Structure 1
Amino acid sequence: MNVGIGLPIGDPAALLTWARRADAGPFSTLGLLDRLVYDNPEPLVALAVLAGATSRIRVQTEVLLAPLRDTALLAKQAATLDRMTDGRLVLGLGIGGRDDDHQVTGVDKHTRGRRLDEQMAMMRRLWSGEPYGDGVGPIGPAPARPGGPEVLFGGFRPAAIERVARWGDGFLAAAAPSWAGDLFETARRFWKEYDRDGEPRIVAQINVALGTDDQVHDARANMHAYYTFTGTADRMVDGMLTTPAGIREAIAAFADLGADEVMLYCYGLGPDQVDRLADLL
Protein backbone atom coordinates (compact mmCIF):
# COMPACT_ATOMS: atom_id res chain seq x y z
CA MET A 1 0.00 0.00 0.00
CA ASN A 2 1.24 3.50 -0.87
CA VAL A 3 1.77 6.13 1.81
CA GLY A 4 1.75 9.86 1.12
CA ILE A 5 2.21 13.04 3.14
CA GLY A 6 -0.35 15.77 3.65
CA LEU A 7 1.58 19.02 3.87
CA PRO A 8 1.12 21.65 6.59
CA ILE A 9 -0.06 25.11 5.55
CA GLY A 10 1.46 27.42 8.15
CA ASP A 11 4.80 28.12 6.39
CA PRO A 12 4.54 27.96 2.57
CA ALA A 13 8.25 28.70 2.07
CA ALA A 14 9.19 25.55 4.00
CA LEU A 15 7.17 23.28 1.71
CA LEU A 16 10.00 23.01 -0.79
CA THR A 17 12.09 21.32 1.90
CA TRP A 18 9.17 19.04 2.78
CA ALA A 19 8.68 18.11 -0.86
CA ARG A 20 12.32 17.36 -1.61
CA ARG A 21 12.67 15.18 1.48
CA ALA A 22 9.46 13.30 0.68
CA ASP A 23 10.55 12.82 -2.95
CA ALA A 24 13.79 11.26 -1.73
CA GLY A 25 11.95 9.00 0.71
CA PRO A 26 9.38 6.21 0.61
CA PHE A 27 6.34 8.44 0.01
CA SER A 28 4.01 8.27 -2.97
CA THR A 29 2.14 11.58 -2.90
CA LEU A 30 2.21 15.15 -1.58
CA GLY A 31 -1.23 16.43 -0.57
CA LEU A 32 -2.32 20.01 0.06
CA LEU A 33 -5.67 21.25 1.34
CA ASP A 34 -7.72 24.16 0.07
CA ARG A 35 -9.46 27.12 1.67
CA LEU A 36 -9.94 30.65 0.42
CA VAL A 37 -10.58 32.79 3.52
CA TYR A 38 -7.63 31.42 5.47
CA ASP A 39 -3.85 31.86 5.74
CA ASN A 40 -2.96 28.92 3.47
CA PRO A 41 -1.21 28.73 0.10
CA GLU A 42 -3.37 28.32 -3.00
CA PRO A 43 -2.97 24.58 -3.74
CA LEU A 44 -2.63 24.51 -7.53
CA VAL A 45 0.00 27.27 -7.47
CA ALA A 46 1.86 25.69 -4.56
CA LEU A 47 1.78 22.18 -5.99
CA ALA A 48 3.08 23.46 -9.32
CA VAL A 49 6.11 24.86 -7.50
CA LEU A 50 6.59 21.64 -5.56
CA ALA A 51 6.22 19.50 -8.67
CA GLY A 52 9.02 21.47 -10.29
CA ALA A 53 11.25 20.80 -7.27
CA THR A 54 10.64 17.02 -7.34
CA SER A 55 10.99 14.28 -9.91
CA ARG A 56 8.71 11.34 -9.13
CA ILE A 57 6.26 12.01 -6.30
CA ARG A 58 2.64 12.78 -7.16
CA VAL A 59 0.99 16.07 -6.20
CA GLN A 60 -2.59 15.99 -4.94
CA THR A 61 -5.23 18.54 -3.98
CA GLU A 62 -6.91 17.32 -0.82
CA VAL A 63 -9.48 18.60 -1.51
CA LEU A 64 -9.75 21.47 -3.98
CA LEU A 65 -13.02 23.38 -3.56
CA ALA A 66 -14.02 23.30 -7.21
CA PRO A 67 -17.36 25.18 -6.93
CA LEU A 68 -15.45 28.29 -5.83
CA ARG A 69 -13.55 28.35 -9.15
CA ASP A 70 -14.31 29.19 -12.75
CA THR A 71 -14.80 25.86 -14.51
CA ALA A 72 -13.00 26.48 -17.81
CA LEU A 73 -10.00 28.04 -16.07
CA LEU A 74 -9.83 25.18 -13.56
CA ALA A 75 -9.91 22.66 -16.41
CA LYS A 76 -7.03 24.48 -18.11
CA GLN A 77 -4.99 24.79 -14.92
CA ALA A 78 -5.41 21.11 -14.07
CA ALA A 79 -4.58 19.98 -17.60
CA THR A 80 -1.49 22.20 -17.66
CA LEU A 81 -0.18 20.86 -14.35
CA ASP A 82 -0.94 17.29 -15.37
CA ARG A 83 0.84 17.73 -18.72
CA MET A 84 3.89 19.47 -17.28
CA THR A 85 4.33 16.84 -14.55
CA ASP A 86 3.89 13.92 -16.95
CA GLY A 87 0.70 12.80 -15.23
CA ARG A 88 1.72 13.30 -11.60
CA LEU A 89 -1.35 15.39 -10.70
CA VAL A 90 -4.16 13.87 -8.63
CA LEU A 91 -7.13 16.21 -8.48
CA GLY A 92 -8.97 15.66 -5.21
CA LEU A 93 -12.22 17.63 -5.29
CA GLY A 94 -14.91 18.58 -2.79
CA ILE A 95 -17.64 21.15 -2.24
CA GLY A 96 -16.46 22.89 0.94
CA GLY A 97 -18.54 23.99 3.89
CA ARG A 98 -17.46 27.45 5.04
CA ASP A 99 -19.87 30.34 4.55
CA ASP A 100 -17.07 32.90 4.14
CA ASP A 101 -15.38 31.00 1.29
CA HIS A 102 -18.65 31.07 -0.62
CA GLN A 103 -19.46 34.65 0.32
CA VAL A 104 -16.29 36.12 -1.17
CA THR A 105 -16.72 34.21 -4.44
CA GLY A 106 -20.45 34.83 -4.79
CA VAL A 107 -21.16 31.10 -5.02
CA ASP A 108 -24.44 29.88 -3.54
CA LYS A 109 -23.53 27.41 -0.84
CA HIS A 110 -26.86 25.61 -1.23
CA THR A 111 -26.22 24.69 -4.87
CA ARG A 112 -22.54 23.78 -4.64
CA GLY A 113 -23.10 20.05 -5.14
CA ARG A 114 -25.07 20.60 -8.33
CA ARG A 115 -22.46 23.07 -9.51
CA LEU A 116 -19.70 20.49 -9.00
CA ASP A 117 -21.59 17.96 -11.12
CA GLU A 118 -21.97 20.55 -13.87
CA GLN A 119 -18.28 21.42 -13.60
CA MET A 120 -17.24 17.79 -13.94
CA ALA A 121 -19.36 17.32 -17.06
CA MET A 122 -17.68 20.31 -18.66
CA MET A 123 -14.15 19.45 -17.52
CA ARG A 124 -14.39 15.88 -18.77
CA ARG A 125 -15.44 17.23 -22.17
CA LEU A 126 -12.65 19.78 -22.27
CA TRP A 127 -10.00 17.29 -21.16
CA SER A 128 -11.12 14.99 -23.97
CA GLY A 129 -10.47 17.75 -26.53
CA GLU A 130 -14.09 18.59 -27.27
CA PRO A 131 -15.14 22.21 -27.97
CA TYR A 132 -16.42 24.33 -25.12
CA GLY A 133 -19.64 24.90 -27.07
CA ASP A 134 -21.70 27.75 -28.54
CA GLY A 135 -19.13 28.40 -31.24
CA VAL A 136 -16.19 28.32 -28.81
CA GLY A 137 -13.45 25.84 -29.64
CA PRO A 138 -11.46 23.42 -27.45
CA ILE A 139 -9.48 24.60 -24.42
CA GLY A 140 -6.03 23.07 -24.17
CA PRO A 141 -3.51 21.84 -23.43
CA ALA A 142 -4.29 18.15 -23.62
CA PRO A 143 -3.56 16.55 -20.24
CA ALA A 144 -0.90 13.85 -19.97
CA ARG A 145 -3.53 11.34 -18.91
CA PRO A 146 -6.18 10.70 -21.59
CA GLY A 147 -9.50 12.12 -20.42
CA GLY A 148 -7.89 14.28 -17.76
CA PRO A 149 -5.95 13.89 -14.52
CA GLU A 150 -6.97 11.31 -11.96
CA VAL A 151 -9.94 12.69 -10.00
CA LEU A 152 -10.80 11.74 -6.42
CA PHE A 153 -13.83 12.97 -4.52
CA GLY A 154 -14.01 13.55 -0.79
CA GLY A 155 -17.19 13.47 1.25
CA PHE A 156 -19.29 11.54 3.71
CA ARG A 157 -22.88 11.60 2.46
CA PRO A 158 -24.16 9.18 -0.19
CA ALA A 159 -24.68 11.95 -2.75
CA ALA A 160 -21.03 12.95 -2.44
CA ILE A 161 -19.77 9.37 -2.60
CA GLU A 162 -21.95 8.59 -5.62
CA ARG A 163 -20.00 11.29 -7.46
CA VAL A 164 -16.98 8.97 -7.32
CA ALA A 165 -18.71 6.49 -9.62
CA ARG A 166 -20.38 9.07 -11.82
CA TRP A 167 -17.40 11.31 -12.55
CA GLY A 168 -14.28 10.16 -10.74
CA ASP A 169 -11.54 7.60 -10.39
CA GLY A 170 -11.51 7.15 -6.65
CA PHE A 171 -12.61 8.13 -3.15
CA LEU A 172 -10.74 10.28 -0.62
CA ALA A 173 -11.86 9.35 2.90
CA ALA A 174 -10.93 11.55 5.86
CA ALA A 175 -12.33 9.07 8.36
CA ALA A 176 -10.97 6.84 11.10
CA PRO A 177 -10.63 3.12 10.33
CA SER A 178 -13.46 2.38 12.76
CA TRP A 179 -16.03 3.92 10.43
CA ALA A 180 -14.20 4.31 7.12
CA GLY A 181 -15.08 0.76 6.08
CA ASP A 182 -18.75 1.65 5.53
CA LEU A 183 -17.71 4.63 3.39
CA PHE A 184 -15.39 2.43 1.32
CA GLU A 185 -18.17 -0.08 0.73
CA THR A 186 -20.58 2.68 -0.27
CA ALA A 187 -18.09 3.90 -2.88
CA ARG A 188 -17.62 0.36 -4.20
CA ARG A 189 -21.38 -0.23 -4.32
CA PHE A 190 -21.99 2.89 -6.39
CA TRP A 191 -19.09 1.88 -8.64
CA LYS A 192 -20.84 -1.41 -9.45
CA GLU A 193 -24.21 0.28 -9.89
CA TYR A 194 -22.69 2.54 -12.53
CA ASP A 195 -21.14 -0.52 -14.20
CA ARG A 196 -17.61 0.86 -13.94
CA ASP A 197 -14.71 -1.45 -14.68
CA GLY A 198 -12.47 -2.59 -11.83
CA GLU A 199 -12.79 -0.80 -8.50
CA PRO A 200 -12.45 2.80 -7.33
CA ARG A 201 -9.08 3.78 -5.93
CA ILE A 202 -9.46 4.31 -2.18
CA VAL A 203 -7.29 6.90 -0.44
CA ALA A 204 -7.51 7.25 3.34
CA GLN A 205 -6.26 10.05 5.56
CA ILE A 206 -4.73 10.04 9.05
CA ASN A 207 -3.84 13.16 11.02
CA VAL A 208 -0.41 12.69 12.60
CA ALA A 209 2.34 14.42 14.55
CA LEU A 210 5.63 12.97 15.79
CA GLY A 211 8.30 14.58 17.89
CA THR A 212 8.70 16.43 21.17
CA ASP A 213 5.80 17.44 23.40
CA ASP A 214 6.14 21.01 22.10
CA GLN A 215 6.00 19.85 18.47
CA VAL A 216 2.91 17.75 19.11
CA HIS A 217 1.28 20.60 21.02
CA ASP A 218 1.91 23.00 18.12
CA ALA A 219 0.46 20.51 15.64
CA ARG A 220 -2.67 20.10 17.75
CA ALA A 221 -3.05 23.88 18.05
CA ASN A 222 -2.69 24.34 14.29
CA MET A 223 -5.25 21.65 13.55
CA HIS A 224 -7.67 23.06 16.12
CA ALA A 225 -7.44 26.53 14.58
CA TYR A 226 -8.11 25.15 11.12
CA TYR A 227 -11.22 23.20 12.14
CA THR A 228 -12.70 25.65 14.67
CA PHE A 229 -15.44 26.60 12.20
CA THR A 230 -16.84 23.05 12.28
CA GLY A 231 -17.68 23.13 15.98
CA THR A 232 -16.03 19.70 16.35
CA ALA A 233 -12.38 20.76 16.49
CA ASP A 234 -11.78 19.21 19.93
CA ARG A 235 -13.00 15.82 18.80
CA MET A 236 -10.98 15.96 15.60
CA VAL A 237 -7.79 16.95 17.38
CA ASP A 238 -8.30 14.12 19.86
CA GLY A 239 -8.07 11.75 16.89
CA MET A 240 -4.58 12.91 15.90
CA LEU A 241 -2.08 10.04 16.14
CA THR A 242 1.17 10.95 17.89
CA THR A 243 3.07 7.67 18.33
CA PRO A 244 4.78 5.40 15.79
CA ALA A 245 2.81 2.42 17.08
CA GLY A 246 -0.51 4.21 16.69
CA ILE A 247 0.29 5.34 13.15
CA ARG A 248 1.46 1.87 12.10
CA GLU A 249 -1.71 0.36 13.57
CA ALA A 250 -3.93 2.76 11.63
CA ILE A 251 -2.06 2.11 8.37
CA ALA A 252 -2.48 -1.64 8.90
CA ALA A 253 -6.18 -1.18 9.64
CA PHE A 254 -6.70 0.72 6.39
CA ALA A 255 -4.77 -1.95 4.51
CA ASP A 256 -7.15 -4.56 5.94
CA LEU A 257 -10.07 -2.47 4.67
CA GLY A 258 -8.61 -2.47 1.16
CA ALA A 259 -7.31 1.10 0.95
CA ASP A 260 -4.83 1.71 -1.86
CA GLU A 261 -3.08 4.61 -0.20
CA VAL A 262 -2.93 6.36 3.16
CA MET A 263 -2.11 10.05 3.45
CA LEU A 264 -0.36 11.02 6.68
CA TYR A 265 -1.59 14.56 7.18
CA CYS A 266 0.76 16.83 9.13
CA TYR A 267 -0.06 20.00 11.02
CA GLY A 268 3.36 20.42 12.63
CA LEU A 269 5.52 22.84 10.65
CA GLY A 270 8.98 21.26 11.01
CA PRO A 271 10.24 19.32 7.97
CA ASP A 272 11.79 16.80 10.38
CA GLN A 273 8.29 15.27 10.38
CA VAL A 274 9.14 13.82 6.96
CA ASP A 275 12.21 12.05 8.33
CA ARG A 276 10.39 10.76 11.41
CA LEU A 277 7.58 9.34 9.28
CA ALA A 278 10.04 7.82 6.82
CA ASP A 279 11.80 6.05 9.70
CA LEU A 280 8.43 4.80 10.93
CA LEU A 281 7.67 3.25 7.54
Structure 2
Amino acid sequence: MAKDIEVGGSTHEHYGAKDYQDPPPAPLVDPEELTQWSFYRAIIAEFIATLLFLYITVLTVIGYKSQSDTKANGDICGGVGILGIAWAFGGMIFILVYCTAGISGGHINPAVTFGLFLGRKVSLVRAVLYMVAQCLGAICGCGLVKAFQRAYYVRYGGGANGLSDGYSTGTGLAAEIIGTFVLVYTVFSATDPKRNARDSHVPVLAPLPIGFAVFMVHLATIPVTGTGINPARSFGAAVIYGKAWDDHWIFWVGPFIGAAIAALYHQYLLRAGAVKALGSFKSSTPY
Protein backbone atom coordinates (compact mmCIF):
# COMPACT_ATOMS: atom_id res chain seq x y z
CA MET A 1 0.00 0.00 0.00
CA ALA A 2 1.48 3.32 -1.08
CA LYS A 3 2.47 5.84 1.55
CA ASP A 4 1.05 9.33 1.53
CA ILE A 5 3.77 11.77 0.44
CA GLU A 6 3.37 15.50 0.09
CA VAL A 7 6.14 17.36 -1.69
CA GLY A 8 7.42 20.37 0.22
CA GLY A 9 6.21 19.23 3.63
CA SER A 10 8.47 19.47 6.67
CA THR A 11 10.02 16.38 8.28
CA HIS A 12 7.58 16.24 11.16
CA GLU A 13 4.66 16.62 8.72
CA HIS A 14 5.78 13.72 6.51
CA TYR A 15 3.62 11.19 8.29
CA GLY A 16 0.04 11.49 7.13
CA ALA A 17 0.91 13.75 4.20
CA LYS A 18 -0.48 13.01 0.76
CA ASP A 19 0.88 12.20 -2.69
CA TYR A 20 -2.00 13.74 -4.63
CA GLN A 21 -3.30 17.23 -5.21
CA ASP A 22 -6.99 18.09 -5.05
CA PRO A 23 -7.92 20.53 -7.80
CA PRO A 24 -8.97 23.97 -6.56
CA PRO A 25 -12.74 24.52 -6.21
CA ALA A 26 -14.37 25.82 -9.36
CA PRO A 27 -15.42 29.48 -9.10
CA LEU A 28 -19.11 30.21 -8.87
CA VAL A 29 -18.89 32.38 -11.98
CA ASP A 30 -15.88 32.33 -14.29
CA PRO A 31 -16.12 35.01 -17.02
CA GLU A 32 -13.06 33.58 -18.77
CA GLU A 33 -14.97 30.39 -19.58
CA LEU A 34 -17.26 32.33 -21.89
CA THR A 35 -14.30 33.37 -24.06
CA GLN A 36 -12.87 29.86 -24.53
CA TRP A 37 -13.73 27.55 -27.42
CA SER A 38 -13.20 24.53 -25.14
CA PHE A 39 -16.21 25.70 -23.09
CA TYR A 40 -18.55 25.70 -26.08
CA ARG A 41 -17.04 22.49 -27.39
CA ALA A 42 -17.92 20.85 -24.07
CA ILE A 43 -21.51 22.07 -24.30
CA ILE A 44 -21.80 20.66 -27.83
CA ALA A 45 -20.35 17.35 -26.60
CA GLU A 46 -22.99 17.16 -23.84
CA PHE A 47 -25.76 17.90 -26.37
CA ILE A 48 -24.63 15.22 -28.85
CA ALA A 49 -23.92 12.63 -26.15
CA THR A 50 -27.38 13.04 -24.59
CA LEU A 51 -28.99 12.91 -28.04
CA LEU A 52 -27.25 9.61 -28.81
CA PHE A 53 -28.05 8.26 -25.35
CA LEU A 54 -31.78 8.88 -25.74
CA TYR A 55 -31.86 7.69 -29.35
CA ILE A 56 -30.36 4.27 -28.58
CA THR A 57 -32.06 3.65 -25.24
CA VAL A 58 -35.57 4.75 -26.24
CA LEU A 59 -35.32 2.64 -29.41
CA THR A 60 -34.36 -0.31 -27.22
CA VAL A 61 -37.36 0.21 -24.94
CA ILE A 62 -39.80 0.54 -27.84
CA GLY A 63 -38.27 -2.43 -29.65
CA TYR A 64 -38.69 -4.62 -26.58
CA LYS A 65 -42.32 -3.60 -26.11
CA SER A 66 -43.16 -4.24 -29.77
CA GLN A 67 -41.47 -7.65 -29.82
CA SER A 68 -43.17 -8.79 -26.61
CA ASP A 69 -46.65 -7.45 -27.49
CA THR A 70 -48.85 -10.54 -27.81
CA LYS A 71 -51.68 -8.42 -29.29
CA ALA A 72 -49.43 -7.71 -32.27
CA ASN A 73 -48.34 -11.35 -32.72
CA GLY A 74 -45.33 -10.81 -30.53
CA ASP A 75 -43.77 -13.27 -28.11
CA ILE A 76 -44.17 -12.45 -24.44
CA CYS A 77 -40.64 -13.79 -23.96
CA GLY A 78 -39.32 -12.00 -27.02
CA GLY A 79 -37.07 -9.00 -27.19
CA VAL A 80 -34.21 -8.07 -24.93
CA GLY A 81 -36.24 -7.97 -21.71
CA ILE A 82 -35.60 -5.78 -18.69
CA LEU A 83 -32.05 -7.10 -18.50
CA GLY A 84 -31.38 -5.95 -22.07
CA ILE A 85 -32.89 -2.53 -21.43
CA ALA A 86 -30.68 -2.11 -18.37
CA TRP A 87 -27.66 -3.12 -20.46
CA ALA A 88 -28.60 -0.58 -23.14
CA PHE A 89 -28.71 2.27 -20.62
CA GLY A 90 -25.58 1.21 -18.74
CA GLY A 91 -23.66 0.35 -21.90
CA MET A 92 -24.44 3.66 -23.58
CA ILE A 93 -23.35 5.59 -20.49
CA PHE A 94 -20.09 3.63 -20.44
CA ILE A 95 -19.47 4.37 -24.14
CA LEU A 96 -20.44 8.05 -24.01
CA VAL A 97 -18.59 8.84 -20.78
CA TYR A 98 -15.50 7.19 -22.25
CA CYS A 99 -15.84 9.29 -25.42
CA THR A 100 -16.60 12.65 -23.82
CA ALA A 101 -14.85 12.57 -20.43
CA GLY A 102 -11.83 14.42 -21.80
CA ILE A 103 -13.97 17.09 -23.45
CA SER A 104 -16.86 17.88 -21.13
CA GLY A 105 -16.39 15.49 -18.23
CA GLY A 106 -19.06 13.17 -19.64
CA HIS A 107 -21.97 14.23 -17.44
CA ILE A 108 -24.89 13.43 -19.82
CA ASN A 109 -27.26 13.97 -16.89
CA PRO A 110 -28.42 17.16 -15.13
CA ALA A 111 -28.37 15.35 -11.78
CA VAL A 112 -24.69 14.47 -12.24
CA THR A 113 -23.96 18.06 -13.26
CA PHE A 114 -25.85 19.34 -10.21
CA GLY A 115 -23.94 17.03 -7.88
CA LEU A 116 -20.60 18.08 -9.35
CA PHE A 117 -21.63 21.72 -9.03
CA LEU A 118 -22.37 21.22 -5.33
CA GLY A 119 -18.98 19.54 -5.01
CA ARG A 120 -17.39 22.66 -6.56
CA LYS A 121 -16.20 20.71 -9.61
CA VAL A 122 -17.91 22.97 -12.17
CA SER A 123 -18.96 26.61 -12.19
CA LEU A 124 -22.56 27.77 -12.06
CA VAL A 125 -22.49 29.00 -15.67
CA ARG A 126 -21.12 25.69 -16.94
CA ALA A 127 -23.62 23.72 -14.86
CA VAL A 128 -26.62 25.67 -16.18
CA LEU A 129 -25.53 25.50 -19.82
CA TYR A 130 -24.72 21.79 -19.50
CA MET A 131 -28.24 21.14 -18.19
CA VAL A 132 -29.79 23.13 -21.04
CA ALA A 133 -27.68 21.24 -23.61
CA GLN A 134 -28.56 17.89 -22.03
CA CYS A 135 -32.30 18.61 -22.09
CA LEU A 136 -32.17 19.83 -25.69
CA GLY A 137 -30.14 16.79 -26.67
CA ALA A 138 -32.68 14.50 -25.01
CA ILE A 139 -35.56 16.17 -26.84
CA CYS A 140 -33.75 15.84 -30.18
CA GLY A 141 -32.83 12.20 -29.51
CA CYS A 142 -36.44 11.28 -28.76
CA GLY A 143 -37.53 13.35 -31.75
CA LEU A 144 -35.34 11.22 -34.02
CA VAL A 145 -36.87 8.04 -32.61
CA LYS A 146 -40.38 9.36 -33.25
CA ALA A 147 -39.44 10.45 -36.78
CA PHE A 148 -38.11 6.99 -37.66
CA GLN A 149 -40.63 4.87 -35.69
CA ARG A 150 -43.73 7.04 -35.42
CA ALA A 151 -46.31 4.22 -35.25
CA TYR A 152 -44.39 2.19 -32.70
CA TYR A 153 -43.38 5.31 -30.77
CA VAL A 154 -46.98 6.38 -30.11
CA ARG A 155 -48.27 2.86 -29.55
CA TYR A 156 -45.66 1.89 -26.99
CA GLY A 157 -45.41 5.02 -24.91
CA GLY A 158 -42.37 6.72 -26.41
CA GLY A 159 -40.04 5.36 -23.74
CA ALA A 160 -41.48 7.89 -21.29
CA ASN A 161 -41.07 7.40 -17.55
CA GLY A 162 -44.05 7.01 -15.27
CA LEU A 163 -45.00 5.65 -11.89
CA SER A 164 -46.02 2.00 -12.29
CA ASP A 165 -49.37 0.73 -11.05
CA GLY A 166 -49.35 -0.37 -7.44
CA TYR A 167 -46.58 2.00 -6.33
CA SER A 168 -47.15 5.15 -4.32
CA THR A 169 -45.66 8.54 -5.11
CA GLY A 170 -43.43 8.24 -2.05
CA THR A 171 -42.07 4.90 -3.24
CA GLY A 172 -41.33 6.29 -6.68
CA LEU A 173 -39.61 9.35 -5.22
CA ALA A 174 -37.50 7.18 -2.90
CA ALA A 175 -36.49 4.94 -5.82
CA GLU A 176 -35.31 7.97 -7.80
CA ILE A 177 -33.44 9.45 -4.83
CA ILE A 178 -31.61 6.24 -3.96
CA GLY A 179 -30.92 5.33 -7.58
CA THR A 180 -29.42 8.73 -8.33
CA PHE A 181 -27.41 8.61 -5.11
CA VAL A 182 -25.82 5.35 -6.28
CA LEU A 183 -24.96 6.89 -9.65
CA VAL A 184 -23.56 10.23 -8.43
CA TYR A 185 -21.68 8.61 -5.56
CA THR A 186 -20.04 6.32 -8.13
CA VAL A 187 -19.13 9.31 -10.29
CA PHE A 188 -17.41 11.05 -7.37
CA SER A 189 -15.60 7.89 -6.32
CA ALA A 190 -14.46 6.95 -9.83
CA THR A 191 -13.04 10.42 -10.49
CA ASP A 192 -11.52 11.03 -7.05
CA PRO A 193 -7.96 12.43 -7.47
CA LYS A 194 -6.86 10.51 -4.38
CA ARG A 195 -7.83 7.23 -6.07
CA ASN A 196 -6.17 8.33 -9.33
CA ALA A 197 -2.90 8.93 -7.48
CA ARG A 198 -2.88 5.35 -6.13
CA ASP A 199 -4.06 3.52 -9.25
CA SER A 200 -2.87 4.82 -12.61
CA HIS A 201 -5.40 2.66 -14.47
CA VAL A 202 -8.41 4.30 -12.81
CA PRO A 203 -8.79 7.22 -15.27
CA VAL A 204 -9.13 4.68 -18.09
CA LEU A 205 -11.58 2.51 -16.19
CA ALA A 206 -13.67 5.31 -14.63
CA PRO A 207 -16.49 5.03 -17.24
CA LEU A 208 -16.88 1.33 -16.43
CA PRO A 209 -18.14 1.60 -12.82
CA ILE A 210 -20.33 4.54 -13.84
CA GLY A 211 -21.94 2.47 -16.58
CA PHE A 212 -22.37 -0.45 -14.20
CA ALA A 213 -24.01 1.81 -11.64
CA VAL A 214 -26.58 2.85 -14.26
CA PHE A 215 -27.08 -0.81 -15.22
CA MET A 216 -27.66 -1.97 -11.65
CA VAL A 217 -30.02 0.88 -10.78
CA HIS A 218 -32.12 0.11 -13.87
CA LEU A 219 -32.43 -3.53 -12.86
CA ALA A 220 -33.79 -2.44 -9.48
CA THR A 221 -36.09 0.44 -10.45
CA ILE A 222 -37.45 -0.26 -13.96
CA PRO A 223 -40.47 -2.01 -12.38
CA VAL A 224 -41.12 1.02 -10.14
CA THR A 225 -40.67 4.15 -12.27
CA GLY A 226 -39.15 2.91 -15.51
CA THR A 227 -35.95 4.37 -14.02
CA GLY A 228 -35.33 8.05 -14.46
CA ILE A 229 -32.23 9.05 -12.42
CA ASN A 230 -31.65 11.49 -15.28
CA PRO A 231 -34.02 14.48 -15.55
CA ALA A 232 -33.02 15.13 -19.17
CA ARG A 233 -33.91 11.55 -20.15
CA SER A 234 -37.36 11.84 -18.52
CA PHE A 235 -37.96 15.38 -19.82
CA GLY A 236 -37.00 14.65 -23.42
CA ALA A 237 -39.27 11.60 -23.60
CA ALA A 238 -42.17 13.46 -21.99
CA VAL A 239 -41.86 16.45 -24.35
CA ILE A 240 -41.88 14.36 -27.53
CA TYR A 241 -44.48 11.85 -26.35
CA GLY A 242 -46.62 14.64 -24.88
CA LYS A 243 -48.68 12.50 -22.51
CA ALA A 244 -46.34 11.62 -19.65
CA TRP A 245 -46.61 14.60 -17.32
CA ASP A 246 -48.36 12.80 -14.44
CA ASP A 247 -45.94 12.67 -11.52
CA HIS A 248 -43.21 14.07 -13.79
CA TRP A 249 -41.90 16.16 -10.91
CA ILE A 250 -40.63 12.92 -9.32
CA PHE A 251 -38.06 12.62 -12.09
CA TRP A 252 -36.60 16.03 -11.28
CA VAL A 253 -36.93 16.30 -7.52
CA GLY A 254 -35.78 12.73 -6.82
CA PRO A 255 -32.57 12.85 -8.89
CA PHE A 256 -31.62 16.31 -7.62
CA ILE A 257 -32.08 15.26 -3.99
CA GLY A 258 -30.12 12.04 -4.57
CA ALA A 259 -27.31 13.94 -6.28
CA ALA A 260 -27.13 16.49 -3.46
CA ILE A 261 -26.91 13.77 -0.80
CA ALA A 262 -24.20 11.94 -2.76
CA ALA A 263 -22.15 15.13 -3.20
CA LEU A 264 -22.38 16.03 0.48
CA TYR A 265 -21.65 12.47 1.58
CA HIS A 266 -18.55 12.06 -0.58
CA GLN A 267 -17.09 15.54 -0.37
CA TYR A 268 -17.85 16.49 3.21
CA LEU A 269 -17.95 13.16 5.04
CA LEU A 270 -15.74 10.69 3.22
CA ARG A 271 -13.27 13.32 1.99
CA ALA A 272 -13.71 15.39 5.17
CA GLY A 273 -14.29 18.59 3.24
CA ALA A 274 -15.93 20.28 6.22
CA VAL A 275 -13.06 19.32 8.52
CA LYS A 276 -10.47 20.56 6.01
CA ALA A 277 -12.29 23.85 5.61
CA LEU A 278 -12.50 24.28 9.38
CA GLY A 279 -8.80 23.41 9.75
CA SER A 280 -7.86 25.89 7.06
CA PHE A 281 -9.90 28.55 8.81
CA LYS A 282 -8.26 27.84 12.16
CA SER A 283 -4.75 27.83 10.71
CA SER A 284 -5.33 31.24 9.13
CA THR A 285 -6.77 32.80 12.29
CA PRO A 286 -4.31 35.23 13.86
CA TYR A 287 -3.41 34.80 17.53
Q: TM-score if structure 2 supplies the norm length? A: 0.21
Pick the structure with more strand per residue. Answer: 1
Tell which has more relative contact order, 1 or 2 (C-alpha 8 A, sep 6+): 2
Which structure would you say has the larger Rg? 2
